[in-house]
Structure 1
Amino acid sequence: MDLELLRQALTEENIKDFLEQYRALGPLPGILLPFLEALLPFLPLFIFVAGNALVYGFLLGFLYSWIGASLGSIFVFFIIRKFARHRLIKYAVKYEKLQSTMNWFERRGFGAVFLLYCFPFTPSALVNVVAGFSQMNPISFILAVSMGKMVMILIVSYIGHDFFGLLKSPVELIIVCSLTFLLWVGGKFLEIKLKDKSVQQKVKKSAE
């Protein structure tokens, strides 16, 4: 199939018609489309999220998009970590830029991945794969994906649901920015707690 023709077919109107046609299936279509975008990154996540907001309403549309996009990214991360990492990591070390990117993910952990996922046009498929190759803690990745995608999809859902209303209400923009900051702080706090707990467990095991 020609990818250009596929992109042309995946317009907001066509996605809206598709979701309305299969709305009897409940949340499944709304969750499935963002999930597939994690596997097929050429698909337009922005349009899927906006379509969900138009068809299901702001709250349900946001929820379905968030669940689908988060599960998709987590699925890709664990597929890479489980089946591909050990086979392909020896090739990755030959490329200095890729190796430095993986090291950056490992050093920055939650904060870096969270911020990357907050932005709608971040190449999330690349982030999923590189994080899977790296030594990043899976729990930190899940927290970062869940919270980062929450911010990004909240913004896109709101734009899709009421774009002009958002432009007229700077207060709501401030609320979104504040939510982003609070989620980042909360995620960092959880990550530190989890790391401390992990270190304590290792010390306890070594003492035994």
Structure 2
Amino acid sequence: MSAEAIEEASELFDTVIELLDNYEALGPIPGILLPFIEAFLPFLPLFVFVMANSAAYGLLKGFLYSWIGSSAGSILVFFLIRKFGNKKTLLKIKRNKQVQHITSWVERHGFGPMFILLCFPFSPSSVINIVAGLSNVSKQQFVLAVLLGKSVMIFSIAYIGSSIMEFAKNPVKTVVVTVCILVFWIFGKFLEKKLLKRKKTSLENYEGGGGAK
């Protein structure tokens, strides 16, 4: 995470805080809507929305609104992909060799890897939503992984957001929080690569062994 990226995130955080203040009369709706939209537009920074919600609404409400919005968005994306998975565009994605490898791996491992990936702020949750929708993973498994995984991930970010003003006054805490965010990001990326590598190895063993019989 470069200094430029951190500066852009800080500016966006201030913008979101201002937006939440301007629409304060709408109650929790803006706080729920922003994380919900992120599920459909994954280039938006979920961690900024969660931190802003917690700074604006407080830790518990900020966490709850972010969790409801993000979880609802992910689950809706999953059900839309599951419903329209046989459409022409999605069929092309579904028939992609790499996607087929990932979906088969998700089908065989189910809840565990999805839960672990969703626990980390910088994991590719949008990819998880789509792949799970294209796979034969049960709806119950996916919903449970989303609700539990995102609760861990969002609360960890919400805690930072709720104390953002205190952090600003205490340089040491600011450094600690920045390092923690960086560690989350690095570990999330490492875990993603590790799981994908393990998936590829297990699939090759499966195709070269019992799966080839």
TM-score (norm 1): 0.72
Q: Counterpart of 1:67?
A: 68
Write the distance in 1 (CA, Å) between the matches of 2:151 and 2:175.
18
Match of 1:30 in 2: 31
Q: Distance in 1 between matches of 2:144 and 2:124?
A: 18
Shift of 1:96: 2.2
Q: Distance in 2 between matches of 1:97 and 1:110?
A: 20
SS at match of 1:39: coil
Q: Write the letter of the residue equivalent to 2:141.
A: S
Q: Deviations over 1:95-148 (max 9, x none)?
A: 322111001111111111111110101121111111100000001100000000
Equivalent pair of 2:54/2:158 in contact (CA under 8 Å): yes
Aligned to 1:203: none
C-alpha RMSD of matched pairs (Å): 2.3
Q: Unaligned 5+ residue runs, structure 2? A: 1-7, 168-172, 178-213
Structure 1 residue 42, shift from structure 2 partner? 1.1
Deviations 1:9-42 (A, max 9, x none): 9610010010111111111000000000001111
Structure 1 partner of 2:115: 114
Match in the other structure for 2:206: none
Measure the CA separation in 2 of the matches of 1:10 and 1:73: 26
- The answer on whether the counterparts of 1:105 and 1:131 sit within 8 Å (CA) in structure 2 is yes
Structure 1 residues 29-178: aligned runs within 5 Å = 29-83=30-84, 85-87=85-87, 90-92=91-93, 94-162=95-163, 164=173, 167=176
What is the SS of the residue equivalent to 1:80? helix
- 2-side partners of 1:9 and 1:155: how far apart? 18
- Matched residues, number: 161
- Tell me which amino acid in the other structure corresponds to 2:151: M
Task: Give the CA deviation at 1:166.
Answer: 11
- The one-letter amino acid of 1:14's match is T
Please say if residues 10 and 44 of structure 1, whose CA atoms lie closer than 8 Å, have aligned partners that are also in contact. Answer: no
Identity %: 50
| Structure-2 change in CA distance of 1:40 and 1:140 (3 Å) | same
Q: Is the 8 A contact 1:158 1:166 kept in 2?
A: no
